[in-house]
Amino acid sequence: MLENFIQYLALILIILFLVMLARKLKIAYPIVLVLGGLALCAIPGIPVVSVNPELIFVIFLPPLLYEAAWYTSWKDLWKWRRVVTSFAFLIVIVTSFVVALVSSSLIPGFTLALGFLLGGIVSPPDAVSATSVLKYVKVPKRLSAIVEGESLLNDASSLIVFRFALVAVDTGRFVFQEAAFSFVIVIAMGILTGVLIGMVYYAIHRWLPTTPDMDTVLTFTAPYVMYIVAEAFHFSGVLAVVSGGLYLSARSHLILSTASRLRGSNVWATIGFVLNGIVFMLIGLELPVIVNGLGDVSLGKAIGYGVLITIVLIITRLLSTFGASAFTVFISRFITTADSRPGWKGPLLLGWAGMRGVVSLAAALSIPLTLQSGAPWPQRNLILFITFTVILLTLVVQGLTLPLLIKWVKMDDPDYEKSIEEQDKDLRLQLSDLSVRYLDEHHADMLGNSKPLQNLKNRFETDRIEQDEHTLEDLEHYREVYMNLLTHQRESLHHINKQQSVNEELVRKYLTLLDLEEEKLRMRFEAGE
């Protein structure tokens, strides 16, 4: 037990150093973590790591999906709902079908059912990989919104295809009508389950006397409850978590206090970082187990099959994105669409942002070892190796080249007439104007006698003056002075805290206030950097 704990502790420390390296190199950290895991495998004496698929599906997947759903813009998701749903469901099914045809035709021993099984495994792109790449480059908001929205739903559709393919391989029986009906039921009931459980959590947060600590713990238990309950009834646990997360996120301002939101966001940011780091590192560490299981298939042939399926996936996704663009142009003649002229740049970038991740590996690992008859599961080890190859190639090749492609395409943001810096300035000005007007209209009688209210009004009026273009050049100097002032105040508080007559709890309170003020200042100027 202690030995395992030390190994996990060492793994987390290695992950931290690799993420630091990724930030230094300005490379998406999933790429560096996977390559780091591969490098660790080459070190003699490193323990062989075998990934338990239940660990991924039950322990890792629910909170990662929930965090993604919580911070997803419902407005953007609704705006791009047709594109997102077509990518998450239709294109996943089409991709699975294409992979099934190619693999059953070109890979010896593969049947159509095994091909669908492989297609269901490798069809969904990974959200964390794409979004971590997009952080280092400026892309139109629609691109990141579609990628994030697609990734919330495509795991569900791919895992449903995977389930049906498992049954088809095991029983040799597949009835399209039954599968289509079950597909709809699994999706609909998964969404309903998530919303119903979300309503229960809503009631607990809203009407029971919770504290910020309790609220944080409740938000951490919610995705597990949603996933486990839905899966217990053979519904989509993924969609349950996503729908429940979206439901509660849209109402967070009603059910969570300011302290709960601040504390919860910090906790979730840390949890998401650690979980994502571990799962991508595990992908690289799993290589020896996968290679050793190839059996009679030579490593060279297995690599060739993996490269073949990767090329098929990339081409299929690119054709699908351009096909979706062409269909949008056609259908916009009859219905209102978010963008009737999507062009070629957006589809190209979306098509190339198809990196695969840990859900694919976990699905491949969850294939049973034997059929119901007791015979070994056909081609299980080869499917595992192909999946690993697809993940590695899409992460490294597409992940490293996507920023270069984005810079080469130079796609403007067609959804906003003003830049993010201009929008930030306008929004601050509107808030300042609203605040001054509110004080004048509702508290005019007190403004003449209340010095605190006068100071509050002056603060907002000063904020309006800072928006003037003639003073923008002074803002950087203003931030530097303010940051130095906050640092000086912090050092003074630490010095004051050495006095025995001063209550340390009060000092910590003011240190926290200084941290919040510094974070507010950082976020205020972040858009202009």
Q: How far apart are CA 17 and CA 36, in angstroms?
A: 10
- Residue 212 CB-density burial (10 A; 0-12 exposed, 13-18 middle, 19+ buried): middle
The torsion angle over the Cα atoms of residues 149, 152, 158 and 164, rounded to 10 degrees, is -120
How many Å apart are CA 391 and CA 261, to the nearest integer? Answer: 35
| Average confidence (pLDDT) over 394-402 | 88
Residue 475 pLDDT class (50, 70, 90 cuts): low
Predicted confidence at residue 470, as pLDDT, reads: 46
Reduced to 3 states (helix: H, G, I; strand: E, B; else coil), residue 26 is: coil
Sequence-distant (6+) residues with CB within 8 A of 187 are 156, 157, 160, 236, 239
User: What is the spatial distance between Cα 147 and Cα 128, in angstroms, rounded to a whole number?
Assistant: 10
Per-residue pLDDT band for 466 (boundaries 50, 70, 90) equals: low
- pTM score over 0.85: no
Write the CB contacts of 267 (distance below 8 Å, at least 6 apart in sequence).
Answer: 216, 220
> Which stretch of DSSP H or E encloses residue 281?
helix 258-285
Tokens of 268: 């979730």
Query: Could you tell me which of 306, 409, 430, 305 has the C-alpha nearest to residue 351?
Result: 409
Rounded percentage of the chain residues whose pLDDT exceeds 90: 18
Lowest-pLDDT range, 13-22, 196-205, 251-260?
A: 251-260
The answer to whether residues 117 and 368 touch, using CB atoms and an 8 Å cutoff, is: no
How far apart CA 33 and CA 36 sit, in angstroms, is 5
The secondary element (H helix, E strand) that includes residue 99 is helix 91-106
Q: Are 263 and 214 in contact (CB under 8 A)?
A: no
Q: Write the CA distances from 250 to 198, 236, 247, 261, 515, integer angstroms.
A: 11, 21, 6, 13, 27
As given in the structure block, the two tokens for residue 334 are 């009859």
428-to-262, 394, 461, 465, 525 alpha-carbon distances in Å: 21, 41, 11, 11, 11
* Pairwise CA distance, residues 342 & 52, whole Å: 42
CA distance 198 to 205: 10
* Owner of token pair 């037990």: 1
User: Which is more confidently placed, 145 or 308?
Assistant: 308
Question: Cα–Cα distances in Å, from 418 out to 28, 412, 424?
Answer: 28, 11, 10
Average pLDDT over residues 338-353: 80
Which spans in 286-419 are helix H?
287-292, 299-331, 345-352, 358-365, 380-393, 399-409
User: Dihedral through CA 346, CA 424, CA 264, CA 144, nearest 10?
Assistant: 0
For residue 196, pLDDT beyond 90: yes
Amino acid identity of 525?
F
- Cβ burial, residue 271 (10 Å; 0-12/13-18/19+): middle
- Which residues pair with residue 376 across a beta bridge? 370
- At 451, is the pLDDT very low, low, confident or very high (cuts 50, 70, 90)? confident
Instruction: Grade residue 190 by pLDDT with cuts at 50, 70 and 90.
Output: very high
Question: pLDDT tens digits, residue range 57-80?
Answer: 888 889 988 988 888 877 788 888
Most confident of the following: 141-145, 353-357, 461-465: 353-357
Inter-residue contact 502 to 496 (CB < 8 Å): yes
